[in-house]
């Protein structure tokens, strides 16, 4: 993902991806797939990512990579 794509995300989207990443390992596989599907349908169009050919595994990887890229930008100690 390019820098301009990441800049299109706001605090609302950051909170969604953060919650997704935090819960990723604690939910069942079926819940994880459902959350991945919902979140990718929200975020990928905004990021101009064509998800039509992506597997669920690839969508998960993209969302987790997005979390890692955004974490430094959005999280900071006060």
Tens digits of residue pLDDT in 27-64: 999 999 999 999 999 999 988 889 889 999 999 999 99
pLDDT for 78 equals: 35
Q: How far apart are the C-alpha atoms of 66 and 16, rounded to whole Å?
A: 11
pLDDT at 30: 94
pLDDT computed for residue 11 by the predictor? 83
Cβ atoms of residues 63 and 20 within 8 Å: yes
pLDDT at residue 76 in the model = 66
Mean pLDDT within 14-24: 93
Structure tokens at 22: 């935090």
Does position 77 have pLDDT exceeding 60, yes or no? no
| CB-based contacts of 2-8 (< 8 A; 24+ apart in sequence) | 5/47, 5/48, 5/49, 6/47, 6/66, 6/69, 6/70, 6/73, 8/46, 8/47
């Amino acid at each position: 993902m390019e820098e301009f794509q990441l800049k299109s995300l706001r605090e609302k989207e950051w909170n969604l991806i953060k919650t997704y990443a935090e819960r990723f390992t604690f939910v069942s596989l079926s819940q994880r797939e459902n959350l991945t599907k919902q979140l990718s349908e929200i975020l990928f169009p905004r990021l101009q990512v064509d998800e039509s050919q992506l597997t669920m595994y690839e969508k998960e990887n993209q969302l987790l990579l997005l979390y890692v890229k955004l974490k430094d930008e959005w999280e900071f100690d006060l």
